Structure 1
Amino acid sequence: IKDFLLLCGRILLLLALLTLIISVTTSWLNSFKSSQVYLKEEEKNEKRQKLVRKKQQEAQREKASRYIENVLKPHQEMKLRKLEERFYQMTG
């Protein structure tokens, strides 16, 4: 009877150890797979963000060039004209 109880205890200990190994291994494998999926999603997000940034920069460049053409250049030309008129008024 004593040998039988020792054998049952060893079998239970072996089963517990096997269960622990299986659970640790499966969780490790799942985390590895999910990290790969996460990296792929992260790459997709980075590409999408780069495209969005590029579009926004292009839109800002267009706005800046329109502002220069429509506001700054006429303003500078008007200043120059006023300076020329004042110069001609002073010189006679």
Structure 2
Amino acid sequence: MSVHEAITKHSTAQHLHLVRFAELDEQREQAIEACVDLCRRGLPFSVDEINAITAQIIAHAKQGISPLRSYVTEDMVRDFVKKG
């Protein structure tokens, strides 16, 4: 394999890794928005889906260059809504 091919292969792998991160991050943001909406309306909500996606992001980050995300608590959602 030439140097050019190796660089191209590496760049492609990094790009695909970041694309997958962006997909997971978007799913996480949608889950957060859903929780915030329920909280604002005074309805019960759970952060389980957010944290399941967060776990996927953390596992994915171990395989490449993408950033990490923090787990979310119900208190964090309530505090965000109160400040909003």
Q: TM-score, normalised by structure 1?
A: 0.42
Select the structure of larger CA radius of gyration: 1
> Comparing both structures, which one devotes a greater share of its residues to helix?
1
More RCO (CA 8 Å, sep 6+): 2
